[in-house]
Each structure stands twice: as C-alpha cells, then as structure tokens.
Amino acid sequence: LEVLKRDGITHVEPQGKIASLGLTPAEFRQVCKDVGVDLRMLRHQVGENEFHTDTAYKIAGKDLTAVPLGPYKDDPEGWNKLDNDARERIWAGIGEEAQRRLYTEKMRADLLGRKPGQGAAPFDENKDFGRDVNLGMDVCGREGKPFTEEGMKNLEVMFEVVKALAKEQGGKMVYRPHVGEGYSETEKARHEGSKPARGDDNYIDRPAKKGDPASDIGRHNLAHVLDRIQKLADSGAYVPGGDVIIRLGHVTQCTPEQARQMKDLKIIAEVNLTSNLVTGVTPHDPDNPTESRKDRLQNHPLLELMAEGVDVALSTDAHSVMNTTLTKEYRKAENMIKAFTRKDSELTIRHDGKDCTFAQLPPEVQKHFSIQRLHEATQRYRQQIVADDK
C-alpha cells in the first residue's frame, strides 16, 4: 500500500480481497488509515483488480526489493544486501520517475514469475498472460485542446502500427481513438482551482451548455480525426470492413453529418452514457434551468447515431469509477429509445437537416430504433474480435 501510494495509486478496493492479504476487515481499515489510503473512494482507481492488491502485499508486506537503477543497476547482489532505509535513500536520489519504473518492473517480475530485471518486450507479455494475439490499441489526446496537424500525423503513424500487427497476426485489430468527448467548463475550472467540485456524483456542479467552447472543440477534434481516416480510406491504407476495425471512443459532440461519415467508413461509435452525464459533457438546454439528468440524456447523440445507421457499442468507460454496469447502460439506452418512439412523444432529433419527432422520420429510419439493433451491432463487433482470438 505504501509503495502504491508513492506511485500515485491511493485508493484500494478491499471487498473480496482482504483474505488474500491475511487481514481482518478491521486490520485492513487500520492499515489504510496508517498509510493514508482514502476509504471513501474504494471504487475508484485500483478497484476490483486483484493484481494490484496482491502486489501491494508482496512489495510492502514481504520484501521491498526492486530492480535497482543508479549505482546498483549492474549489481543486484549488492542491492539485495541493502536494508530498506538505504534503498529508500537511493530511490529518493534518483527521482520520482525512476521510482515508478522500479515499482513497475517489480510488479511485472512478480506477476510473470521472473526474477527482477528479466522483463519481456511488451507484446511478448501478452503471451505470458495467456494471450496469443493483441486485440487493439487505444490512442488519446487532450480533450480541452484542439487537435493539431502533428497530432493527426501521430494518429496515422499509430494506425500503421495497428495495421502491421493485424497483418503479422493474420487477423483483425481494433484501433480506438478517444475523440469527441468534449469537456465540462466546470471541470476545467475545477482543475484550475477556481471553484470546487460538487453536484453530480461529486464530480461536477454544472454540465456543459449547448454551444459551449468545450462542445465546439469536441466537434472540431472529431472532424479532424474523421478527415484523416477519410484520407487513409481514399489512399487505400484503410479498408472499411477490413483487418483494422476503427472504434471511436465517446463521440459525444457528434453531429448528424459526422455520424453519416462514420457510417460510410464503417466506424463503430463507442457510447458511454453514464460517463458522459457524470463528467458533464452531455450538453443541456440553457433555456431549461430545471432540466433533469434524465432530460439531459435525451440530448446525447446516441439516437442520432442510430438514425444514421452507425453501429454503436455501449460501454461503461470505467465501470467502478462511474459506478455503472453494461446492464445499466443498456437499460438507459432502452429508456431513451422508448421515450423517443412513444406515439405521443414530442422529443426530436436532428435528421436530414431538420428537427424530427419519431413520427416524422421515414419508415426505413424508424426501423433503426430498437434495443435489439444495439445488441446486434455489439454482437457483430464481438464476433469479429473473437473469431481472431482462438
């Protein structure tokens, strides 16, 4: 626990894991108190990951050995003769990042059953964990800043890496750029220290408004990513429906026009309903000060993505952090669909350049609105991956 705390991990999930530490619940709480672990945020960071809990015990409770950097890099025997105080002084002398590397190396060595220092190349470690293939790659950029040309070049480089891995493995790979989420102006202010966080799940106190710069940046970034993918498709580097499956994470600020482009490029939209509510990026109506979270959910572009025929994969973003499950996400989506498709519903979505109720949509578009369509899209996505993971 002390080691993980130094490494920035300060919250641990004890439920079901206390026995592996050999502690009673009361003893565990006392240990957490002694080292400053925040028990109010048990679901947040390490969460239900047994690896971290077990590693914390191995490192902090049994032996505080690690691969030495600095003067003992090539002298493991000398390192092992040092007591913990001496090691602490060396760690402090070589800086925080070096400490992070030490802990990470020790964790990997413990988990893989190797001696410290005998780490494998990243892709080899998948085989050590029982995986014969890599499934995909996730790439992210700062949501609060407009994506740059340099960033788009990086995006293209990583696409080529994924494509090469797919060819090497003889199967499909998922390429998942995180884009179009936007950010809450309140969340931005919270990070700048100008106001406290309160309200929705103690995370924000005001969601972004329609037309906020945060929403504009999300659409801007999504446009840049889609344009670059379009160029890859035009050049033949990306083949829609081919060996590289592109899944865009969030796309919360997506426009109907962008949704149509995603449909044409066979891009999967990953939708995180609860996460987008909690972080405040689902825009609300500034003319409706009493708008509830349920009302705000109807502003999410999920329905517009469905209208344009985009394959949607619901996700939790981070189920323990957001306190949700896929079951809850599908229930939310189903409620949105039911509210929109009721005979007396006055809810509208943007389609074909105008606001439309469900009754005003063409029959071929109305067919897109069912929870079964969402399940089928996710099943198609899953089957593509599972087929190459045998």
Q: How many separate domains does the chain show? A: 2
Model pLDDT for residues 93-148, shown as the tens digit of each residue: 555 445 445 555 554 444 444 444 444 334 344 444 444 557 888 888 777 788 88
Asked if residue 194 belongs to a domain, the reply is yes
Asked if residue 130 belongs to a domain, the reply is no
Q: Which of 77, 92, 121 is the last residue of a domain?
A: 121
- Whether residue 210 is found in the same domain as residue 359: yes
Q: Which of 121, 148, 168 is the last residue of a domain?
A: 121
Q: Model pTM greater than 0.75? A: no
Model pLDDT for residues 229-276, shown as the tens digit of each residue: 999 999 999 999 999 999 999 999 999 999 999 999 999 999 999 988
**Residue 16 scores a pLDDT above 60:** no
- Whether residue 116 is found in the same domain as residue 153: no
- Whether residue 288 is found in the same domain as residue 336: yes
Strands 268-271 and 312-314: parallel
pLDDT band at residue 339, thresholds of 50, 70 and 90? very high
Domain that includes residue 367, residue range: 136-386
Asked if residue 33 belongs to a domain, the reply is yes
What does pLDDT average to over the chain? 72
Mean pLDDT value of segment 73-78: 72
Q: Give me the pLDDT at residue 324, please.
A: 85
CB 259 within 8 A of CB 230: no
Q: Is the dihedral of CA 357, 363, 369, 374 positive or negative?
A: negative
Asked if residue 127 belongs to a domain, the reply is no
**Residue 51 scores a pLDDT above 60:** no
- Whether residue 275 is found in the same domain as residue 167: yes
- Whether residue 193 is found in the same domain as residue 277: yes
Asked if residue 97 belongs to a domain, the reply is yes
- Whether residue 202 is found in the same domain as residue 289: yes
Of residues 204, 218, 352, the one with CA closest to residue 278? 204
Asked if residue 276 belongs to a domain, the reply is yes
- Whether residue 180 is found in the same domain as residue 328: yes
Q: Which of 79, 96, 121 is the last residue of a domain?
A: 121
Model pLDDT for residues 296-338, shown as the tens digit of each residue: 788 899 999 999 999 999 999 876 778 888 889 999 999 999 9
Asked if residue 128 belongs to a domain, the reply is no
Asked if residue 96 belongs to a domain, the reply is yes
Q: Give me the pLDDT at residue 53, please.
A: 43
- Whether residue 337 is found in the same domain as residue 366: yes
Q: Give me the pLDDT at residue 202, please.
A: 36
Q: Give me the pLDDT at residue 173, please.
A: 92
Cα–Cα–Cα angle for 300, 306, 311, rounded to 5 degrees: 110
- Whether residue 165 is found in the same domain as residue 280: yes
